Amino acid sequence: MADLFRQTKTIAVVGLSPKTHRASYAVAAYMQAHGYRIIPINPREAGKTILSEGCYADLAEARQHHHIDIVDCFRSADDIPPIAEAAIQIGARCLWMQSGIVNIDAARSAHEAGLQVVMDRCLKIEHQRFLVHINTATESE
């Protein structure tokens, strides 16, 4: 996972809400503050901005303007299969399903297409663990 964070530049957040109290917003804002480009994906907010970034209706539209490394999903497990297929089609490196989201079939499809798959984990929490690992390694050198 450390390599994934090191090599990632752009994260598409599917289901990113403009509401600052929502988990999707907090996670995206955290990742943006740590230097990652956030691409909001939310059909209800398409054409607007969230976190000072233009929002797109879907991954295919976003891919016309940005290379996407991670597709971070804040959608129900039942909504994941078409998102996984879109992540495959746009050439994403990773399909990430946030805490509480598990879809084995979508994960299998994405994995078979060569994507790294993470399920039922929070991107922000895992990034914080990565930072602790980096800091600990630096201190011991």
Pick one of 1.10.490.130, 3.30.465.10, 3.40.50.150, 3.40.50.720 as the CATH number of 2-139. Answer: 3.40.50.720
> Strand 53-54 and strand 49-50: pairing?
antiparallel
Instruction: Dump pLDDT digits (tens) for 90-124.
Output: 999 999 999 999 999 999 999 999 999 999 999 99
Average pLDDT over residues 55-80: 98
Residue 136 has pLDDT above 50, yes or no: yes
Q: What single string gives the DSSP state of each residue in 47-62?
A: TSEETTEE-BSSHHHH
Confidence of residue 135 (pLDDT cuts 50, 70, 90): low
Indicate the pLDDT class of residue 66, thresholds 50, 70 and 90: very high
The model's pTM: 0.93
Mean pLDDT of 33-46: 97
Distance of alpha carbon 66 from alpha carbon 11, whole angstroms = 10
Distance between the two ends of the chain, CA-based, in angstroms?
21
Read off the amino acid at residue 44: R
CB contact at 8 A, 33 and 25: no
Name 37's bridge partners: 10
Helix and strand counts by DSSP (H, E) for the chain: 6, 7
Amino acid at residue number 95: L
